[in-house]
């Protein structure tokens, strides 16, 4: 046992109100409901009127108290159960019991409709005209198999082999079909044919061009960066209706992720990837695995001793989900038109972040690099081995400076970067040097704090986001200005008053026991020995009895 002077910075409770605070900047792309943001999947909110308990439902159906909620607390409600006289589900498997101690409100239909509209319809859709695929000087068209270039005067035949016109040198025609008859006939459309011969040159487009032609008129590929507060959760939906979820945020975000997936029409997940076993990436996957049919569970095979990780693996086992530990360089076959390469997987001796799975998606000419929490050492390694240049980057580790080195940003050259992190998180993510590095590299920034859920859509040629880019400036709320200057209490002669200064006594104490030798009842704000570290309850008295 060793004694520590406790420097407890915060004990953060993981509840769904973490993103409740808002600023004007949020309002642009978020649907506000009174002072709070209305989220996808939310059915109402409860306001605590007087002390009431936050509870969980035990396996035997009884309620267990998590903590006491104080008057004024507000929670988003995602579900309602009629058990125990009514339970409001506030996320993370936690409930507030229906009673006169709480007020329940539901959002207006108009607000819900607005939310639906904002979350489903991309504001900037892929513009027509951007679906043109050029092949040399001409556009490659649907159904085209090749082209002919005329080298010398060449006759054109109709279906009855009658010459209808003559083509001149230099002209180019699209070819849609080929027949073996008459020594080879190229169909150039409109029931017209050109004979194979030395007066024409025939060329076929590359496989990648044809693949692009195939996807460009399809439903777009969508990559949703779900706002899970401090954490990551990314849903990939392919044009053929395949779904893959990369991470699920913290446990408390589980219900929100489930609601989001349901809202996007997900009933089955072909792949669930846990990039690495840290709680802010895997916690929410427990609700996901409990709700949806999952075919494959992919993780780096990096063992972790948290209950959360054990519970997750237990679910993979109980539900007979195929367990995959990928190797670096391997591919994931989610959909035939989408390339997914694993750029990093765990090696012996890695810490959790080093083990983070890194994925690069390629869809036509557009690519997306999902870095998980991979750090600069991993960045260095993968940029030496693989192509990392990508259209869209999900910056590693929530924009921390443990990731996104200058060399790596230079190699990726992202046109857009998504930063997934929580409002006023305890770690200072994203770090300002990373934000300026990305801006200087010419990347647009998208922030889950600024925009909430972010959707990128692409047809393989161009891409769009459903929200405005973030300018990279964090809005720090202005501290309230006190109306009156603080009144310094008149020093008292009473050693128990909290204001009395004992002559010759030290002004700094390592703990309350040593302070109480001099000041048995502690000291008040303004006293030279007062320190916030001894006033955890922030009541202006340090080390009070």
Partner 1 sequence: MTKYTLDRFEESLGVLLKYPNEEEQLLIPKEEIAEFREGDILSVTKIDDEYSISLLSEETEKMRNKVNALMNKLKNKK
φ/ψ of 58, rounded to 5, equals -75, 165
**305 lies in the site for partner 1, by CB under 8 A:** yes
Q: What is the 8-class DSSP label of residue 19? A: G
- Retrieve residue 269's tokens: 């997940």
- Of 66 and 112, nearer to partner 1 (C-beta) is 66
Strands 79-81 and 138-140: unpaired
**9 lies in the site for partner 1, by CB under 8 A:** yes
The least distance separating partner 1 from the CB of residue 445, rounded to whole angstroms, comes to: 21
Q: What is the 8-class DSSP label of residue 441? A: T
The least distance separating partner 1 from the CB of residue 66, rounded to whole angstroms, comes to: 8
- Of 302 and 443, nearer to partner 1 (C-beta) is 302
- Of 31 and 298, nearer to partner 1 (C-beta) is 298
Q: What is the 8-class DSSP label of residue 72? A: T
Q: Dihedral angle at the C-alpha atoms of 162, 167, 171, 172, nearest 10 degrees?
A: 10
Q: Which residues, at least 6 apart from 480, have a Cβ–Cβ distance to it below 8 Å?
A: none
Of residues 86 through 145, those in contact with partner 1 by CB under 8 A are 92, 94
- Of 94 and 337, nearer to partner 1 (C-beta) is 94
Among 18, 352, 391, 451, binds partner 1 (CB under 8 A): 352
The least distance separating partner 1 from the CB of residue 181, rounded to whole angstroms, comes to: 52
Pattern 236-265, partner 1, x by CB under 8 A: ---------------xx-------------
- Of 288 and 392, nearer to partner 1 (C-beta) is 288
- Of 24 and 537, nearer to partner 1 (C-beta) is 537
Length of the chain: 545
Of residues 59 through 78, those in contact with partner 1 by CB under 8 A are 66
Reference 525, options 537, 510, 513, 511; nearest CA is: 537
**For residues 3 and 21, what is the distance between their CA atoms, to the nearest angstrom?**
37
**524 lies in the site for partner 1, by CB under 8 A:** no
φ/ψ of 99, rounded to 5, equals -170, 180
Cα–Cα separations (whole angstroms), residue 83 to 61, 89, 92, 293, 386: 9, 11, 18, 26, 54
Window of 339-347, 407-415, 447-455, 506-514 that interacts with partner 1 by CB under 8 A:
506-514
Burial code (b: 16+ CB inside 10 Å, e: under 16) for 211-250 equals bbbebbeeebbbbbbbbbbbbbbbbbbbbeebbbbbbbbb
The 10 Å Cβ neighbour count of residue 417 is 29
Q: What is the 8-class DSSP label of residue 70? A: P
**227 lies in the site for partner 1, by CB under 8 A:** no
**313 lies in the site for partner 1, by CB under 8 A:** yes
- Of 10 and 82, nearer to partner 1 (C-beta) is 10
Window of 153-161, 166-174, 241-249, 314-322 that interacts with partner 1 by CB under 8 A:
314-322
Window of 126-134, 207-215, 346-354, 440-448 that interacts with partner 1 by CB under 8 A:
346-354
Alpha helices in 324-481 (DSSP H): 376-385, 406-412, 432-440, 448-451
| Residue count, binding to partner 1 (CB under 8 A) | 54
The least distance separating partner 1 from the CB of residue 520, rounded to whole angstroms, comes to: 14
**353 lies in the site for partner 1, by CB under 8 A:** yes
**427 lies in the site for partner 1, by CB under 8 A:** yes
Contact, 207 vs 176, CB < 8 A? no
**For residues 352 and 334, what is the distance between their CA atoms, to the nearest angstrom?**
25
- Of 9 and 163, nearer to partner 1 (C-beta) is 9
**543 lies in the site for partner 1, by CB under 8 A:** yes
- Of 203 and 310, nearer to partner 1 (C-beta) is 310
| Site for partner 1, rule CB under 8 A | 1-14, 56, 66, 92, 94, 251-252, 278-279, 283, 301, 303-310, 313-314, 316-317, 320, 323, 325, 351-353, 400, 402, 426-428, 511-513, 533-534, 536, 543
């Amino acid at each position: 046992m060793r004694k520590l002077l406790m420097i407890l910075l915060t004990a953060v409770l993981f509840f769904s109100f973490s993103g409740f605070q808002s600023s004007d900047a949020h309002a642009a792309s978020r649907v506000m409901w009174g002072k709070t943001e209305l989220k996808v999947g939310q059915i109402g909110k409860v306001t605590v009127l007087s002390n009431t308990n936050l509870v969980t439902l035990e396996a035997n159906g009884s309620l267990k108290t998590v903590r006491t909620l104080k008057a004024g607390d507000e929670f988003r409600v995602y579900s309602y159960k009629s058990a125990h006289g009514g339970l409001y589900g506030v996320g993370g498997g936690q409930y507030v019991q229906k009673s006169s101690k709480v007020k329940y409100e539901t959002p207006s239909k108009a607000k819900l409709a607005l939310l639906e509209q904002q979350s489903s319809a991309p504001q900037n859709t892929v513009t027509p005209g951007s679906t043109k695929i050029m092949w040399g000087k001409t556009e490659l068209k649907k159904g085209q198999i090749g082209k002919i270039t005329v080298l010398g005067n060449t006759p054109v035949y109709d279906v009855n082999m009658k010459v209808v016109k003559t083509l001149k040198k230099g002209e180019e025609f699209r070819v849609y079909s080929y027949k073996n008859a008459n020594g080879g006939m190229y169909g150039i459309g409109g029931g017209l044919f050109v004979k194979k011969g030395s007066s024409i040159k025939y060329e076929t487009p590359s496989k990648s061009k044809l693949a692009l032609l195939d996807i460009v008129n399809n439903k777009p590929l969508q990559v949703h960066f779900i706002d899970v507060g401090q954490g990551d959760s990314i849903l990939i939906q392919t044009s053929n209706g395949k779904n893959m979820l990369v991470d699920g945020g913290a446990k408390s975000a589980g219900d929100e992720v489930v609601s989001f997936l349901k809202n996007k029409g997900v009933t089955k997940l072909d792949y669930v990837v846990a990039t690495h076993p840290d709680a802010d990436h895997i916690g929410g996957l427990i609700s996901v695995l409990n709700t949806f049919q999952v075919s494959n569970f992919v993780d780096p095979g990096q063992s972790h001793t948290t209950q959360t990780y054990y519970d997750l693996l237990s679910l993979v086992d109980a539900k007979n989900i195929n367990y995959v530990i990928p190797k670096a360089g391997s591919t994931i076959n989610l959909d035939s038109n989408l390339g997914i390469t694993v750029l990093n997987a765990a090696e012996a001796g890695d810490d959790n972040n080093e083990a983070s799975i890194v994925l690069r998606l390629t869809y036509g000419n557009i690519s997306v690099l999902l870095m998980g929490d991979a750090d600069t050492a991993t960045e260095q390694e993968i940029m030496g081995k693989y192509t990392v240049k990508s259209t869209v980057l999900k910056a590693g580790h929530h924009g921390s400076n443990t990731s996104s080195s200058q060399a790596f940003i230079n190699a990726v050259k992202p046109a857009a970067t998504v930063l997934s992190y929580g409002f006023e998180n305890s770690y200072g993510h994203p770090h300002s040097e990373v934000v300026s590095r990305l801006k200087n590299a010419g990347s647009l920034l998208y922030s889950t704090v600024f925009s909430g859920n972010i959707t990128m859509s692409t047809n393989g040629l161009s891409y769009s986001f459903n929200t405005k880019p973030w300018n990279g400036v964090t809005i720090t709320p202005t501290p309230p200005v006190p109306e009156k200057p603080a009144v310094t209490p008149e020093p008292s002669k009473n050693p128990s008053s909290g204001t009395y200064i004992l002559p010759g006594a030290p002004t700094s104490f390592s703990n309350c026991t040593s302070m109480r030798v001099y000041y048995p009842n502690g000291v008040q704000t303004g006293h030279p020995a007062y320190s916030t570290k001894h006033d955890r309850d922030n009541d202006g008295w340090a080390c009070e009895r």
